[in-house]
Chain A
Amino acid sequence: MTIGLDNLRHIVVLMMENRSFDHMLGALMQQDPRINGLTGNETNPDSAGQMIAVQPDAAYQGQLDPDPDHHFPGVNLQLFEGTGGPPGPPSMNGFIKSYFEQRHDVNHSHKIMYYFTPERIPILTGLARNYAVFNGWFSSIPGPTLCNRAFAHYGTSFGEVGMNLFYLNVPFLSIYERMLKAGRTSKLYYFDQQSSSLEVVNLLKNQPKLFGLFDDFISDCKKNRLPDYCFVEPNYSDHEDPGGGEMLASDQHPDHHVLAGEAFIATVYNAIRKNPNLWSSTLLLVTYDEHGGIFDHVPPPACTPDGFEAKPEATGTGAPFKFDRLGVRVPAIAISPWIEKGMVIPGPEDPINGRVFEHASIPNTVMEAFDLTDDNRSPREKVASTFLDLLSDTMRPDGDCPIFK
């Protein structure tokens, strides 16, 4: 056991919305060739037969409207365009064609290939360059938000590939319930009541003590009351605050402003960073639930089947899905002063040392961190890669770890 792991008391997960790895972090490859991002030569065919390359022209807002398709059939097209479909390897060639289907505007469909340059999103890229960035963190399902987020909470989506999830009478406990059962503390912090919790409404109903507001998170950080494990939800909607003022959505879901999400990530990080007790004993993971229909060049790999099967009528592709392959790659950054600066965890591009992570890695890592033993878990979660080994024996000096202002 490393000293960093020995000092670990808290794990915090912040899950943002709907952005692919290449879209947010791909340009970092120009700064560090170990990062499996964009060379600038990656292309996709458009519906007029032209090959369209990625462009560093992503806008903060107003560009990805309508919201790019990220339901199961749409993602299937994005992954397997020009191939015989699964179980063959994904081509990653259908992103433009999929987006074209929504507006039938050839020029607009090219925008799905746009990405941010690092200086435009300095918080996320700053964290990636200062801590550990995963080259191979994939969404758990080639599908939409709720089933993907389920993997972070339960290690499975119980056979669901869509958005209509209640998780009532499910065979496995959520990671929060497992923590409580083991005498540990755990919490989901949602932004406010207007934003609420997105995906675990059954827990909201049956386990209200598991929930807090984002203000509680800030206060708990200040007062050294942070639970052993917590999950932070951003604000999912533009709405008015009951006390006056405008609450800006901070989830980065298109078409919400990306910089509001940057500020939110900075707020979560600073809340931990500015408390020395917490900073030295907390591992923060910032990730995204799924790619939101936006281009990424790395084909999602196969994975251990989940033990569930979605029927053809649920997948909408005419074929069943056995949860035996992952969704599109998303940004993921592990943050702690015990993590070496500028660490890059290799992914599938490295056949020898590469590691694959997905959202089921979250509950499995929490189980490992707090010595929880519960065999009643999904097969996917049990074999999901964990990331505690990133914590080293050396705590970086305070001046080496950035703060956001």
Chain B
Amino acid sequence: MANTDNVIRIPKVPSGAFNKNRPVSELLWAQVENLAAVAKGQIDEERRAIRTESQASSYIQKMSPTERRLLTAQMRREQPVKSKSVIRFPKPPADAFNDYRPVSDLLWEQVEDLAAFRKKKIEDQRRAIKTEGQASAFIQKMTAFINPPAVTTTPTRASKGAAKKRPGPKR
């Protein structure tokens, strides 16, 4: 610990200083546009790198809308129906699975559609931004998309320094 009598008091920020509805500054716009451009570029780069069915399915999962991913997860969780009327069906052989199968035209089409959808969604969201709060939400999404590992680092608000938790802005 520092041992000093030389203490300078940190001035307090008034609670009314916070305004997430402030119009977006040019600086934030530039950040939004740069992140959007890199994210869209990444969508195309990853698409171009696809060679196998497995890579295509990973890409499809990543580019799928959140709602669709949730639905898929929900379907997986559903319990099988119990019935006495059971029809047995033959199982496919173990070697039927081929992670390295080249991408079919059908899958390519799905990949292309999802890439276009994702890019359009980014553009739509970017165009809808009016306030600093909206810009920061968009920036968060793009950052998480570009740099997924950072998502795992959960900020602890106790050490945010200048950014203190306070009641809503007084207007």
Chain A residues with a Cβ under 8 A of chain B: 17-18, 60-61, 67, 120, 122-123, 126, 130, 144-146, 163-166, 191-198, 201-202, 204-205, 208-209, 211-216, 218-219, 234-241, 243-250, 253, 255, 257, 259-264, 266-268, 273-274, 276, 279, 398-405
The answer to whether A260 touches B163, judged by C-beta atoms less than 8 angstroms apart, is yes
Does any Cβ of A come within 8 Å of B17's Cβ? yes
Across the interface, do A164 and B30 meet the contact criterion of CB distance under 8 Å?
Answer: yes
Task: Give, as a whole number of angstroms, the nearest-CB distance from B93 to chain A.
Answer: 40
Q: Is the CB of B19 within 8 A of A238?
A: yes
Q: Is the CB of B25 within 8 A of A253?
A: yes
Answer yes or no: B143 CB below 8 A from chain A CBs. yes
Q: B34 at the A/B interface (Cβ < 8 Å)?
A: yes
Q: Are B10 and A266 in contact (CB under 8 A)?
A: yes
In the bound complex, CA of A24 to CA of B10 (Å): 16
* Top-9 shortest CB links A-B: A267-B161, A245-B165, A239-B136, A263-B162, A264-B162, A257-B17, A163-B30, A194-B136, A402-B6
Known: A266-B8, A401-B6, A402-B4. 10 other contacts (CB 8 A): A67-B26, A123-B11, A164-B34, A201-B38, A215-B160, A239-B133, A245-B165, A260-B17, A266-B10, A267-B162
B2 touches A403 (CB 8 A): yes
Q: Is residue B157 contacting chain A, with contact meaning CB distance below 8 A?
A: yes
A257-B13 CB under 8 A given contacts A237-B135, A245-B157:
yes
Contact across chains for A260 and B26 when beta carbons are under 8 A apart:
no
Known: A259-B11, A263-B13. A163 touches B26 (CB 8 A): yes
Once the chains bind, are A61 and B161 in contact (CB under 8 Å)?
A: no
Does residue B42 face the partner (Cβ distance < 8 Å to A)? yes
From B58-66, B72-80, B83-91, B144-152, give the one contacting chain A: B144-152
28 A-B pairs within 8 Å (CB atoms) are namely: A120-B11, A122-B11, A164-B30, A166-B37, A193-B139, A196-B140, A201-B146, A202-B38, A211-B147, A213-B153, A213-B155, A215-B160, A235-B162, A237-B139, A245-B166, A247-B160, A248-B13, A248-B163, A262-B11, A263-B10, A263-B161, A264-B162, A267-B161, A274-B1, A276-B1, A398-B4, A400-B4, A404-B9
Task: Give Cα A255–Cα B169 distance, bound, in whole angstroms.
Answer: 15
Q: A214's contact among B3, B4, B5, B161, by CB below 8 Å, is which?
A: B161
Which residue of A204, A246, A404 is within 8 Å of B146 (Cβ)? A204
Q: Assess A194 versus B161: contact at CB under 8 Å? Given A240-B20, A405-B9.
A: no
| Known contacts A122-B8, A402-B6; is-contact A248 B17 (Cβ 8 Å) | yes
| A240 in contact with B140 (CB, 8 Å) | no
- Inter-chain CB contacts under 8 Å: number: 220
Known contacts A193-B140, A259-B11, A262-B11: does B4 contact A399 (CB below 8 Å)? yes
* Complex contacts, B8 vs chain A, CB 8 Å: 122-123, 126, 266, 402-405
* Contact across chains for B157 and A239 when beta carbons are under 8 A apart: no
Contact B2 A273 (CB under 8 A): yes
Task: Verify if B164 is at the interface (C-beta below 8 Å from A).
Answer: yes
Highest count of chain A CB atoms <10 Å: which of B10, B163, B169: B163
Shortest CB–CB separation between residue A368 and chain B, in angstroms?
29
Which A residues touch B162, using CB under 8 A? 234-235, 248, 250, 260-264, 266-267
Q: Report the minimum CB–CB distance from B17 to chain A (whole Å).
A: 4
The residues of A that contact B26 with a CB separation of less than 8 Å are: 67, 144, 163
Which residues of the other chain, A, contact B142 by a CB distance below 8 angstroms?
Answer: 196
- Interface pair B7/A215, CB less than 8 Å apart: no
CB of B28 within 8 Å of the partner chain: yes
Q: Which residues of the partner chain A approach B164 to less than 8 Å between Cβ atoms?
A: 245, 248
Closest A residue, CB atoms, query B7: A405
B98 within 8 A of A: no
Q: How far is the CA of A319 from the CA of B132 in the complex (A)?
A: 35
Cα-based distance from A218 to B158 in the complex (angstroms) = 11
Asked whether A215 lies within 8 Å of B155 as measured between CB atoms, the reply is: yes
For the complex, what is the distance from the CA of A130 to the CA of B157, rounded to whole Å? 30
| Contact of A248 with B18 in the complex, beta carbons under 8 Å | yes
